[in-house]
Amino acid sequence: MNTLIGQHIVIGIAGHSLTEGEKKFIVENNIGGVVLFSRNVADPKQVHTLCQEIQDLRHQMTGKAPLYIAIDMEGGRVARLKAPFTIWPPLKKLGDLDSPTVSFQFSQFMGQELKAVGINLDFAPCIDVFTNPKNTVIGDRSLSSDPEMVAKHASALIRGYIKAEVIPCAKHFPGHGDTIIDSHADLPIENADLERLNTIELVPFKRAFKSKLDMTMTGHIRFPKIDPEWPVTLSEIFLKKVLREDLRYRGLVISDDLDMKALSAHYDKNLIPVRSLQAGVDLLLYCNEPASPPKAIENIAEALSGGRLKRSDLESSYQRILSMKKETIPNPDPLEWDQAIQIIGNPEHFKLSQSISNGEVFNHLHDPTTDN
């Protein structure tokens, strides 16, 4: 049973390499993936070695599926990889420039550096519409306050990541741009109804879904006018009706970190993973607390045994995860180091980053797939 459950979980790890305990836990429970933070990053060679170490575990695991190796690399203040990786400006700079070709190149170049060291999933782009000037949580992480502008660049960014063989994950569904409260600290409660979301917040997500987006991340936000009981991550109304039925989204749904105070301060921690799966989440994200993933597996196993979770639902989600991995991670291992080092901090990438920061567009950039 743990083989089935574990593939639905993405975990954080402690340091610059895997501990023996982490390796054992990942292999024995068929864990779906690992997310890297600043604590896991020393320099490019170390990240490259760590990603190879993580990916090598698949050969010992049930089904031998590649692991997701994820990171938060949006640009600006949300960037786990520092120099000599290219330092990218925040997305607001792309919105100010308003060149979809540059946005495509931005994510393609960033993606190439991630792919070089073995990172295959980026929790980006942030496609929240910045509608509340007091919202410091999002701020310059957003492309624009104009939904159509965000949608246009979301499409270009997604295509750039895909071109680089990195899976983009649009966030934070259905939109975090109007909140004041940081969901790391507490649960934001928003007054918007579905009509408002369809007019503003959901516009970029609709465009993103048309751009072959394979993953989207839920926001821990409660919208009482749409679901009086549950925040989005735990809401069947949002994930099964709005996302799957109304918007016809077919990709994977990953939660934001389930240990964030938005959920853990308001709901029973034993209930959260079970309720997330019931609501329609495919992948449960646990970033910082090592005790949480084993406990989640235990809670989910109990819910399956007691009939609160349908095994058939979990099995169909399991198949969706595996088939998506097969399609989107054709080459799981990092590039050879001598190739990787040519890509990390490449002068062309630095030039593009500088030109975006300075508000300039390079005329020689060309996006062969652009539809704008």
Question: So which residues are the catalytic ones?
Answer: 184, 256
Place of tokens 């792309």: 94
Whether residue 263 contacts residue 275, with contact meaning beta carbons closer than 8 Å, is answered with no
Which of 149, 142, 100 lies closest to 361, judged by CA?
100
CA atoms within 13 Å, Cβ hemisphere of 252: 32
Q: Give the chain's radius of gyration (CA, Å).
A: 19
Q: How many other C-beta atoms can be found within 10 angstroms of the C-beta atom of residue 43?
A: 15
Q: How many CB atoms lie within 10 A of CB 290?
A: 15
Q: How many CB atoms lie within 10 A of CB 345?
A: 16
List, in sequence order, every residue forming a beta bridge with 217; answer none if it has no partner: 254
Residue with tokens 């291992």: 333
Q: Are 220 and 256 in contact (CB under 8 A)?
A: yes
Q: Where are the beta strands (DSSP E) in 230-279?
A: 252-254
- Pairing label, strands 73-75, 78-79: antiparallel
Residues in the chain, total: 372
Which tokens hold the place of 224?
């009482």
The whole-angstrom separation of Cα 82 and Cα 104 is 21
Helices (H), the chain: 2-6, 20-29, 44-56, 91-97, 100-117, 147-163, 194-199, 202-210, 236, 261-264, 272-279, 292-305, 311-328, 337-343, 347-357
- d(CA 62, CA 154) in angstroms, rounded, equals 35
Classify each residue of 17-37 as buried b or exposed e, where b means 16 or more C-beta atoms within 10 Å of its C-beta.
ebeeebbebbbebbbbbbbbe
Cis amide prior to 174 (ω within 30 degrees): yes
